[in-house]
Amino acid sequence: MSASNGNFGFLAEHDPLFTELALSAERSFASDPNTTLIKLRQLGEALAQHIAALAGIEFDEQTTQADLLYKINRELQLENVVRELFRTLRVEGNKATHQFKTKHKEAINGLVVARKLAIWFHQSFGKAGPKFKAVIHFCV
């Protein structure tokens, strides 16, 4: 699956790291759903750091994801649904990291959440803006 045709390929416009993390999460789904959630958490962190940089919000390697999201929300006043998408990726990614087991159902839910967040991000910060309509690509 290439970055241009994956479910997250549109993120390449912003940073190749975004598509790398998302495609890695998709690829690992069948064999390792735990890794899927870890990669999705990393994607959420990368998106938050990118947003913070665009908004001029200061952070460093000591800034936790929760603190960074608080700062972003304080500055940009994110919609509740967007805050919840970020929170879900953070919490589920933490569970995957520390509990070492994830069911496929949890991983697919994580992919759905990450895709919703990615679409919001692209509509908010991408060239197409709110006119962007995502296409779903299924892999068998």
Average pLDDT (75-99) is 96
What the chain holds in terms of domains, given with CATH numbers, is 9-131 (1.20.120.330)
Residue 76: phi and psi, rounded to 5, are -105, -10
Distances from the Cα of 52 to the Cαs of 48, 55, 75, 97, 104, in angstroms? 6, 5, 9, 24, 32
Q: Give the contacts of 118 (CB within 8 A, at least 6 positions apart).
A: 8, 10, 11, 18, 22, 43, 47
pLDDT digits (tens, 9 = 90+) for 34-83: 999 999 999 999 999 999 999 999 999 999 999 999 999 999 999 999 99
Report pTM: 0.90
Instruction: Reply yes or no on whether the pLDDT at 24 is more than 70.
Output: yes
